[in-house]
Chain A
Amino acid sequence: MASILTNLFDGVAYGMLLFVLACGLAVTLGLMNFVNLAHGAFAMAGGYICAVLVNNSGWPFFAALPLAFIGSAAIGIALERTLYRHLYSRSHLDQVLFSIGLVFMSVAAVDYIMGSSRVFIKLPAALEGQIDLFGVGIGRYRLMIVVICGLLTLGLQLILAKTRFGSRLRAAVDDPRAASGLGINVPQVFAFTFAFGCGLAGLGGALSAEILGLDPYFPLKFMIYFLIVVTVGGSSSITGPFLASLLLGIADVAGKYYVPKVGPFVIYTVMIVILLWRPNGLFGRTAAR
C-alpha cells in the first residue's frame, strides 16, 4: 500500500514537472499558433543559468530559481523581438524548420561553452532525502516541485481567466485584427506571453536538472515529452496540458514500476489511445485558424 502511494506521489511530481516544462509550449502552440520546437532550449538555458549561479557563484538554490525564470524570459524576449516575430505569419513548416535549427544551434553552443558532460546543481541539505508520512516515503525535492508547480498552475489559470491581460491575450489570439482595432497592442501581448512561456520553461529546466539530468542534449531528448503533453492535453487551455501531464506522469511511473519490461512504452500507449479517442486532445478544439 505504502509503495502504491509513493509511486502515485512520484508520478504526480513527475507530471507537475512535465507541466511546467511544457506549458509554455502549450501557450505558444495553442494560443499563439506558433510551432516552437526550440522550447526545450529555453528550459536548458534556465537549467544552466541556475547551475552556474549555484555551483560557481555560490548563490542559494532558491534565489537562483527566479533568476532562471528571468534569464530564460529575457533570452526569450530578445529572440522573439529579433527572430520569432518574423515567422508568426509564415507557414508551420517554416516555423518548424526555423525552431529546430535553433535547437541544434543551442545544443552546439552549450556544448562549446559548458562542455558536454552532465551538470548537477548543488542542493541545500533541506531538500535531500525523504520524509516519512504515515509510512509513505515522500521525497523532499519532489514535494517542493509539487508545491511550486501547483501554485504556478493556479496562478496561471487565474491570470488567463480573471485578469485584463488574460482577456486581452485571448482576444488577440482569437482575432488579432479585431483585437488591434480595439486598441490592444497585439505584438506586445504576444511578446510578453512568449517571454513568460520561456521563463516557465527555464524554471522547469532548473527544477528538472536533479531528476531528468541536464546536458547539452536536453532540448532534443525531451522535445518528444513536451509534444506529447501538448498533443494529449489539447492546446487550447491550461487545464488540458495540466491534466495530461499528470496523467502521463502517473502512467509513466506506474508502468515502470509494475511492468518494468514494457514500462517505457506505457507513456506512448496512453498517448495513442487518447488520440484515437479524442484526436484533438483531451480538451482540444478544432484549430481556430
Chain B
Amino acid sequence: MFNRRKVLQWGAASAVLPGLCTSMPARAEDAVKIGLILPMTGGQSSTGKQIDNAIKLYMQQKGDTVAGRKIEIILKDDAAVPDNTKRLAQELIVNDKVNFIAGFGVTPAALAAAPLATQAKIPEVVMAAGTSIITERSPYIVRTSFTLAQSSTIIGDWAVKNGIKKVATLTSDYAPGNDALTFFKQRFTAGGGEIVEEVKVPLANPDFAPFLQRMKDAKPDAMFVFVPAGQGGNFMKQYAERGLDKSGIKVIGPGDVMDDDLLNNMGDAALGAVTAHLYSAAHPSEMNKDFVAAYKKAFGNRPGFMAVSGYDGIHLIYEALKKTGGATDGDKLIEAMKGMKWESPRGPISIDPETRDIVQNIYIRKVEKVDGELYNVEFATFEAVKDSGKTKK
C-alpha cells in the first residue's frame, strides 16, 4: 500500500514540475509559446522526428526571436494516438498557455485538437496530416503540409495525358488510402481511363504476394498504389520479385509511398516509379539545395516532405508574428496567415485565404539514381494546385 501511495505522490509531483519549470523564468510572459504535438515514438515517429528536426534547423538559422519576442517550443509526444493529442493540447493550452498548437502526425490527431483550437481561439498549424476535411473542422486551422487529393488528382490527370488507359489499383484500406483511391478514380475515369481491378489491402498486411499476382493477371498499363510509407519498400521489392516491372506494368501513385526518408533503402526495385508529390529532396532550386545540405549536416540524413512541411509551418508562424508586430491574438494571427505567399524549399507556396489550406505546385517525379543514391527526379510541374477535396463543395 505504501508503495502505491508513494508512486501516486511521485506521479503528482512529476505532473506539477514541468508547469513550475516553464513559469520560472522572470520574462516568460514575453515569450511566444508554441505547443508542438508530434508522434515521437511509435510507428509514425519518423514523421515527428523530421518535423522536430526541421523546426530546430529553422530556429537555428533564423534565430529564436521574432518581432521582439522570444519563441519557445514545447514538444509533446502523442505517439499518434488521438486521445493523447487531445489531452496534451488541453494541457498545453490551459497550463502552459501556449499561443499556437502545431504538428499533428495523423488525421485523427489533428481532428482531436480542432475543437480545442476553436474554443481557445488559438491557431492550429497542421504540419503533417493530409485528409481534406481537417481545415473545415475549425476556423483556426491552417495547414502547411498537403492533402491527398492534391497529389492523387494530379497523378490521375497525368496518367490520362500520358497514354495510360487501364489501371489496376492497390490501396491500403484506411482513410488516407480510400481518399487517394477516390480522388484518383474520379479524375482518371473522367479523363477516359478504365479501372480494371481494384484491391484494398488490409492495413496490417504481412505479404503482398497474392494481391500482386492478381494485379499481374489483370494486365493493366499501370498500377496505382497507396500504402503507408513504411510498407512502400516491401511493396516495391515484391513488385520486382514477381516480375511486374518486366511485364511493363508501371507503378504510379501519390508520392507518400516514395518518401525521401525511406526511398534509399528500397533498393533498385523502386527505379522508374512515377509519383505526384509536393516535395522531392532533389528539387532543383538554390533554396532547396541549401536546405538539404543544412539538414543533412545537422541530422545526418535527407529531409523528406514531412521535414519541409515542418520548416514551412514554423516559417508561417514567424511571418504571422512579424505581421501582427508580435501580438498573439488568435484571430489576428489567422488573418495574417491567410493569403500569405512565400518561397519554400519545395517551390512557391501560399495559404488559400478561403480555406486556410495550402496551395502548392505538385510535381511529377520518377525514381532515378543520382550519384549512387535513389531520388525522385521531378520532370513535370502542375502549378498552384488547390485542394480539390474542398473546392467542389
Identify the A interface with B (CB < 8 A): 3, 6-7, 10, 14, 111, 115-120, 122, 128-130, 137, 139-141, 210-213, 215, 217, 221-222, 225, 252-257, 260-261, 263-264
Assess whether B123 is interfacial by the CB under 8 Å rule: no
Q: Which residues of B contact A141 (CB under 8 A)?
A: 241
Contacts of B202 in A (CB 8 A): 263-264
The residue of chain B having its C-beta at the shortest distance from the C-beta of A254 within the complex is B210
Interchain CB contact under 8 A, B214 and A118: no
Within 8 A of A (CB), among B175-229: 199-200, 202, 204-207, 209-211, 213-214, 217
Of B38-46, B105-113, B136-144, B309-317, the segment with at least 4 beta carbons within 8 Å of chain A is: B38-46
In the complex where A117-B261, A260-B199 touch, is A210 in contact with B237 (Cβ < 8 A)?
Answer: yes
Whether the pair B213, A3 counts as a contact (CB closer than 8 A) is: yes
Contacts A137-B242, A211-B238, A260-B214 given; does A116 touch B200 at CB 8 Å: no
10 A-B pairs within 8 Å (CB atoms) are namely: A3-B213, A117-B46, A128-B241, A129-B241, A213-B234, A253-B210, A257-B211, A257-B213, A260-B210, A264-B205
- Name the segment of B21-29, B62-70, B262-270 touching the other chain: B262-270
Chain B residues in 8 Å Cβ range of A140: 241
Quote the shortest CB–CB distance from B149 to chain A (angstroms): 25
Q: Is the CB of B209 within 8 A of A10?
A: yes
In the bound complex, residues from chain A placing their C-beta under 8 Å from that of B205 are 264
Given A118-B265, A213-B234, list of 12 further CB < 8 A pairs? Answer: A111-B45, A116-B43, A129-B243, A137-B243, A139-B209, A140-B241, A211-B207, A211-B234, A215-B230, A225-B206, A260-B211, A260-B214
**B213 engages A6 (CB within 8 Å):** yes
Task: Return chain A residues, CB-CB under 8 Å to B200.
Answer: 260-261
* Minimum Cβ distance to chain B for residue A79 (Å): 24
CA distance A212 to B238 in the complex (A): 10
Chain A nearest CB: distance from B220 CB in Å? 15
Q: Which residues of B contact A129 (CB under 8 A)?
A: 240-241, 243
List of A residues within 8 angstroms of B231 by Cβ: 118, 213
Kindly provide the distance from the CB of B243 to the nearest chain A CB, expressed in whole angstroms.
Answer: 5
A10 to B241, CA, bound (A): 12
> B42, A116: Cβ atoms under 8 Å?
yes
Q: What is the bound-complex CA distance between A221 and B207, given in angstroms?
A: 13
Q: Which B residue sits closest to A224, measured CB to CB?
A: B204
The proximity string for B residues 294-337 relative to A, scoring 1 for CB distances below 8 Å and 0 otherwise, is 00000000000000000000000000000000000000000000
Closest A residue to B238 by beta carbon equals: A211
Cβ of B233 < 8 Å from any Cβ of A? yes
Name A256's contact: one of B210, B233, B242 (CB within 8 Å): B210
Interface pair B214/A217, CB less than 8 Å apart:
no
Tell me the bound Cα distance from A137 to B247 in angstroms.
12
Contact at B242–A117, with CB atoms within 8 Å? Answer: no
Distance (whole angstroms) from the CB of A271 to the closest CB of chain B: 15
Residue of A with least CB distance to B232: A118
CA distance A249 to B231 in the complex (A): 20
Which of A115, A137, A213 has the most B CB atoms < 10 Å from its CB? A213
Q: CA separation between A221 and B199, bound complex, in Å?
A: 22
- Chain B residues near A117 (CB, 8 Å)? 46, 230, 261-262, 265
Minimum-distance CB pairs A-B, first 8: A256-B210, A257-B210, A264-B202, A253-B210, A10-B209, A116-B45, A213-B234, A212-B206
Q: Find out whether the CB atom of A116 lies under 8 angstroms from the CB atom of B46.
A: yes
What residues on B are CB-neighbors of A254 within 8 Å?
A: 210
B325, chain A: closest CB distance, angstroms = 41
- What distance in Å separates the Cβ of A15 from its nearest Cβ neighbour in chain B? 11
| CB-based contact B242/A130 at 8 Å | yes
Of residues A115, A129, A139, A260, which shows the largest number of chain B Cβ atoms within 10 Å of its Cβ?
A260
Residue A120 contacts which of B45, B199, B210, B233 (CB distance < 8 angstroms)? B233
Interface residues of B in 237-261 (CB under 8 A from A): 237-238, 240-243, 261
* Chain A residues, CB < 8 A from B42: 116
- Which of A7, A255, A263 has its CB near the most chain B CB atoms (within 10 A)? A263
Q: How far is the CB of A260 from chain B (nearest CB, A)?
A: 5
Q: Which residues of A contact B204 (CB under 8 A)?
A: 221
Contact partners of B242 in chain A: CB under 8 A: 130, 137, 139
* B241/A215 in contact, CB under 8 A: no
B267 lies within 8 A of A130 (CB): no
Name the CB-closest residue of A to B199: A260
Residues of B within 8 A of A14 (CB): 207, 209
Contact yes or no, A10 B243, CB < 8 A: no
Give the Cβ gap from B109 to chain A, nearest Cβ, in Å: 17
Shortest A13–chain B CB gap in Å is 8
CA distance A140 to B42 in the complex (A): 33
> Given the complex, which residues of A lie within 8 Å of B240, measured CB to CB?
128-129
Write the chain A residue with the least CB distance to B269. Answer: A128
Q: Which residues from B are CB-within-8-Å of A3?
A: 213, 217
B125 → chain A closest CB, angstroms:
24
CB contacts (< 8 Å) of A255 on chain B: these are: 210
Query: Whose C-beta in chain A lies nearest to the C-beta of B40?
Result: A116
Listed residue (B43, B210, B243, B261) with the most chain A CB atoms within 10 angstroms of its CB? B210
Assess A257 versus B214: contact at CB under 8 Å? Given A129-B243, A139-B242, A210-B237: yes
Complex-state Cα separation, A120 to B238, whole angstroms: 12
Q: Given A139-B242, A260-B199, does the pair A120, B213 have CB atoms closer than 8 Å?
A: no
Task: Return the contact of A111 from the options B41, B210, B238, B265 (Cβ within 8 A).
Answer: B41
Within 8 A of A (CB), among B66-83: none
